[in-house]
Structure 1
């Protein structure tokens, strides 16, 4: 624990020293950027975990002052049968540390950004290797990760690790702008980058040598950088060690607060993928599928599934983010390969807590293995979903009913299995300024 604390302090101090660095790097709009104010979240409800029912008390304050942010997650579960607190949540020292959901300085895309704790949608570069990765896919498997990005103008880097306690998944991207000081319009922002990501132990067994390594190179050129409009082009190459490789070309654009009505951020990519290769290998599902035990003392790592990809193929990837009227936030991404069945991968998110006076709505959905429209609307072991409808008793007091589809680790056979829950809860949501 002391090592973790020292590392975090060093990274945060670096943020203060580098806060005057050059322009931020290429990327989509900062999806995690909120107003610079605090928010006190809390609630009570009822949930079911591993067949047992629990009363829940949840306190999740988020405190923001300037570019600093702190999020806590105190989650108490009391058995409806015994009245005792769920012991599995507090049987290790690590569990107490997880009450700190995150500590951050800045936002993704800033000249300096760091976040310690929950990584909800980690991305490196343009996302061709790592995109939407989360270390929170399983409730009991939540980890304390780290993201650290520094942009010093001519060069910079992005980095992450999923778990500071064990350094399981580690990744970084360095980039260089050779013409940065030339003063040449447009070309001064030309950047070349290189990315390296490894999962040191997919099976969590230190005695096995099963590390997965992916590395790549990229080039990017922002073309327009006006106050309300930004656009750029980019290309990527990636290789999974001992397996295949792939390439991608893309274009992105951004509209910033058009007439106070609309903010829009989008990208579209064309993928050229070789045998035994997939784009976005480290994705939102990776923490679940990195290694699947077979129940007989062995298992199958995700990388082994690449052997089934025996043909080259092409595909598309698109991502969209929008904020409408300053109150409705929509996010989405989709990718599909031209000639590979069940290759569709979908991510959707929506939040509308302010648009309707008495109602609050939110939803998040991830789906892999999509082949047709029916697959999109079918919940199974390829899905993670949460949908909530709330009634505002007061502007800051909301009664929610949430439907949740996620995964839980079955300790009997050591397999992740789908878990379906309906959770009533009462939330307290109060913004404040420091």
Structure 2
């Protein structure tokens, strides 16, 4: 009996100790470097020589990353200005400006690249990016604010270029009704309501004339959702959470009219509101002193007709009209979402995720695969890469680069304390200067200064 009592007491102390610990912090979040790289860049069929100055600083809760391109055409010596055309122009040099850590601090605000952002638990906005290529980078705003531990607000705005109408706006007010109590589990209960709206009417002057991929969004595109989540277990080694989400994609009026007026273009399929439901669990495991950290999520999803989970993802900003058209004829189905990531010894960080409909081979829905890799210096080498591919009907095509893929890979070698050499590669499928869509490749071998501060 005494032994049992001791075990129970130790378990209680262990759990309470775990709640007192700080949340896991990645060793990759607080790096300070000053980098200036001289290299040769191939963009399409043109060659450029020049610098990219890319300092990155983290001081307390503030973080700043810049990307200042100074590229000159190898043939005529002209400065390349395409990266500053349209939208916010030179503000694109701010890769990010951040205060706080999302879901860790009461105030989190970020300006710049929104790659990887999600709203709430991710059923509507997940794996999002507003930076589909160097030339199409937008400067957005993300925020997560919580007041007195109970009332919070998440917000994402895709583009602070205020010319034209409203761009993608995502809002999620949430409430933690029992956060100030000491009731186990229930004190972590979180209830949220999501709203996403986009009225983008952007048109671009190209060599082929005025082009647009916002025919369907200019009159408004919207979605709503509700969710609930709770932390089931939290101690020094393990954090386990559960959530459930319901989302609804409202019928887009312009697309609906197009389907009615051009039925042969859509093979006679129908289009209306679409909705879906998902529930899942997420586990975070860390070994002593964060020597090893593992994050895993598994989610069961039910898709209604004309619905796609994580609809506002990286593909949305590539071509909004094409993304909306994917909803037409999307069949009722179900599937899974999985994510697995780990950080080892503070040196290697890797994460993979997958959205996989049931019976993929016979489904008219595609799978989505994502991979992220980041390392510190190991034997003088360092690597960073992101890869995402959607609309997969065959997982065997996962690593075939085509119009459904986005990739950015950087590999460097430190020559000495101040110098490094590397290769920076980007693959995307985006709108070109002539108004057509196609593959955009950028290959940049370089030698430059990289100083750890």
TM-score, normalised to structure 2's length?
0.81
Match of 1:222 in 2: 231
Partners of 2:68 and 2:420 lie apart in 1 by 19
Name the structure 2 match of 1:411.
433
Is residue 238 of structure 1 aligned with residue 260 of structure 2? no
TM-fit CA distance, 1:366: 0.7
CA contact (8 A) 2:43 2:443 kept: no
Q: Say which of 310, 317, 339 aligns to 2:337.
A: 317
Q: Evaluate the alpha carbon distance shift between residue 121 and residue 35 of structure 1 in structure 2; reply closer, same or farther with a 3 A threshold.
A: closer
* Partner Cα separation in structure 1 for residue 25 and residue 439 of structure 2: 31
* 1:361 maps to 2:370: no
| Structure 2 CA distance for partners of 1:194 and 1:427, relative to 1, 3 Å | farther
Structure 1 position 81 matched with structure 2 position 107: no
Asked if 1 retains the 8 angstrom alpha-carbon contact of 2:239 and 2:285, the reply is yes
- Secondary structure of 1:285's partner? helix
Is the aligned partner of 1:182 residue 2:168?
Answer: no
Question: Which position in structure 2 is the counterpart of 1:422?
Answer: 443
* Aligned-residue offset at 1:101: 2.0
1:146-295 matches, cutoff 5 A: 146-152=141-147, 153-166=149-162, 167-201=166-200, 204=203, 209-242=218-251, 243-258=273-288, 260-291=290-321
Pair 1:305-2:304 in alignment: no
Give the structure with higher Rg (CA): 2
Aligned-pair distance for 1:134?
Answer: 1.2
Q: CA RMSD in A?
A: 2.4
CA gap 1:251/1:30 in 2 versus in 1, 3 angstroms = farther
The secondary structure found in structure 1 opposite 2:444 is strand
Look up the match of 1:328. 348
Gaps of 5+ in 2: 1-18, 204-211, 252-272
Structure 1: which 5+ runs fail to align?
Answer: 1-23, 292-300
Deviations 1:18-73 (CA, angstroms, capped at 9, x unpaired): xxxxxx9xxx9777x73435221221221222421111310011122100112211
2:92 corresponds to which of 73, 84, 98: 98
Distance 2:86 2:358 in 1: 47
How far apart are the structure 2 equivalents of 1:401 and 1:70?
23
Q: 1:353 to 1:326 in 2, by over 3 A?
A: closer
Which TM-score applies when normalising by structure 1?
Answer: 0.84
